[in-house]
Amino acid sequence: MSAYKDEKHGTWYVKFSYVDWKGNTRWTTKRGFKGKRAAEKYEREFKDKAKSTPDMTVRSLVELYLADAKLHIRESTYILRKRDLMNHVVPSLGDLKLSELTPLKMRKWQSELVTSKSARTKRALSPATIQQIRTVFSIVLNYAIRFYGLSENPLRIAGKVNSGESTITRKSSIWTQADFNKAIQYEERHDVRLVYYLLFFGGFRIGEVLALNVSDFDFMSNVIHITKSYSSNSGKITATKTNSSVRDVTMPVSIMDMVHDYISRLEPVLSPVFSSVSISIVERHIRQLAAAAGVPRIRVHDLRHSHASYLINHNVPITAISHRLGHKNANVTLSVYSHFYKSSDKSIADMLAKSLSSL
C-alpha cells in the first residue's frame, strides 16, 4: 500500500499507480483521509474499480454509441435518441467520467429533468418524455457495460424519481364520438378531414396514415394494409415502428367509401395518397377544431387513444384491440390504457347491481 502521513495537515494521503481498463499504467493521488486504514481502503477500491470502469467521459461514450447505433436502428429512432442525448444528457453530464456516475448523481440528474423545460416548446417536460430520456440514457450505459468495461448501470441502481403519472389519465386526452362529430364539421379541407376520420376510426399512428399508397387500400375487403410509416424527423417513408405494427385493419364501409371517392378525384393520383397533408397542418387544425367546436383540446396522437377508449367502452376484447393498434401484445395495450379499464370496471359493477336487483 502507498499511504503516507501529511505532517502539515495531520491527515493521510495515497499516491499510487494503477492499471486502467485499457491496460495502461497511470498515477493518482488522493488526500484528506483521517487515518491510514481509510487511505488504504480507498486505494484498494480504486484499483478494483479502475480495472473495469472506463475513464472516458459521458460525452465520448454518447458519441461512440451514436456512431454504432446509426448502423443498427431505424433512422427515425436514431434521430430521437440523438436529440434526447444531446439536449438532456450531454449538457448536464457530458464532462463527467463514467467512473464518476454514482447512483446519487443519477437521482439528482433525474430530479433536474422534472424541473427542466423543453427547448422547443419552453414547457415542462412531460412524465412520458422524462421516462423516454431516462430509457435512452440507460440504453447507452448498458452499451458501455457490454463494450467498454463499465461494471454496472448507476441509473438502474438509482431507480426512478417521481415525475408524475405517465399513463393516459386526463379526461381531455381523448375525444368521444360526440366530440369528434362536433369538431369534424369545422374542417374545410377534404384531405385533412379524411385523415382525421382514419385516425379516429382506425386507431392508426399519423405516420402510418401519411405513408399510405393506393395499393394499401383493399376496397373489396374494406381493409387497410399497414406496412410502413412516414417519419417527420427524417422526412422519409420508413419501416413501421415495430414488427407488430405491420397489420391489416378492417374499416367501416362508409370510411372506405370516403377514401375511394377521394382517390377517384385526384388528378394525378398522389403517392403517398396524403402527400398534400403534413403533420404540422394536422396538429394545427385539430387545435382550431377543438376551439371552434368547444370540445377538449387534444393532440393528433390522442385520436389513437380515443379509438382505443371507444373500443374498450364497447367491450371489445383486449387481444383484438392490441392487434388493431399494432401493439406487440395485450400487456402493452393494458399498460397504456389501464385507466380506461378502471372506468369500464364501474360500468360492470353497475350492470351486476342491476341484475341483482331483479332477484
Residue 288 CB neighbours (<10 A):
12
Whole-number pLDDT of residue 170: 47
Query: All domains of the chain, ordered by start, with CATH?
Result: 3-52 (no CATH), 58-158 (1.10.150.130), 171-347 (1.10.443.10)
H/E element, 26: strand 25-33
Q: Is it the case that residue 346 has pLDDT exceeding 90?
A: no
Percent of the chain with pLDDT over 70: 87
Phi, psi of 13 (to 5 degrees): -145, 160
Q: What is the mean pLDDT of residues 51-56?
A: 66
Whole-number pLDDT of residue 160: 85
Higher pLDDT, 292 or 2: 292
Whole-number pLDDT of residue 70: 87
Q: What is the mean pLDDT of residues 211-227?
A: 96
Least confident of 18-22, 152-156, 197-201, 301-305: 18-22
Q: Where are the alpha helices (DSSP H) in the chain?
A: 36-52, 58-69, 75-88, 90-93, 103-115, 127-147, 154-158, 177-184, 190-202, 206-210, 253-265, 279-293, 302-313, 318-325, 330-357
What is the identity of the amino acid at 175? W
Q: What is the mean pLDDT of residues 54-58?
A: 81
Confidence of residue 169 (pLDDT cuts 50, 70, 90): very low
Integer Cα distance of 58 and 353 in angstroms: 59
Whole-number pLDDT of residue 75: 84
Q: Which residues pair with residue 29 across a beta bridge? A: 15
Q: Which residues pair with residue 249 across a beta bridge? A: 224
Confidence of residue 171 (pLDDT cuts 50, 70, 90): very low
**What's the mean per-residue pLDDT of the chain?**
87
Whole-number pLDDT of residue 50: 63
Residue 51 sits at the vertex; the CA angle it makes with 49 and 57, to the nearest 5 degrees, is: 75
Q: What does the CA dihedral 171, 173, 174, 178 come to, rounded to 10 degrees?
A: 60
pLDDT digits 0-9 by tens, 252-302: 999 999 999 999 998 888 889 999 999 999 999 999 999 999 999 999 999
Whole-number pLDDT of residue 289: 97
Q: Is it the case that residue 48 has pLDDT exceeding 80?
A: no
Confidence of residue 3 (pLDDT cuts 50, 70, 90): confident
Residue partners of 51: CB distance under 8 A and separation at least 6: 19, 20, 21
Q: What is the mean pLDDT of residues 97-123?
A: 86
- b/e for 191-222, b at 16 or more Cβ within 10 A? bbbbbbbbbbbbbbbbbbbbbbbeebbeeeeb
Query: Quick one: 119 exposed, middle or buried, by C-beta within 10 A (0-12, 13-18, 19+)?
Result: exposed
Q: Is it the case that residue 49 has pLDDT exceeding 70?
A: no
H/E element, 248: strand 247-250
Query: Quick one: 233 exposed, middle or buried, by C-beta within 10 A (0-12, 13-18, 19+)?
Result: middle
pLDDT digits 0-9 by tens, 114-144: 888 776 667 788 888 899 999 999 999 999 9
- b/e for 315-328, b at 16 or more Cβ within 10 A? eeebeebbbbbbbe
Integer Cα distance of 80 and 73 in angstroms: 11
Q: Which residues pair with residue 223 across a beta bridge? A: 218, 250
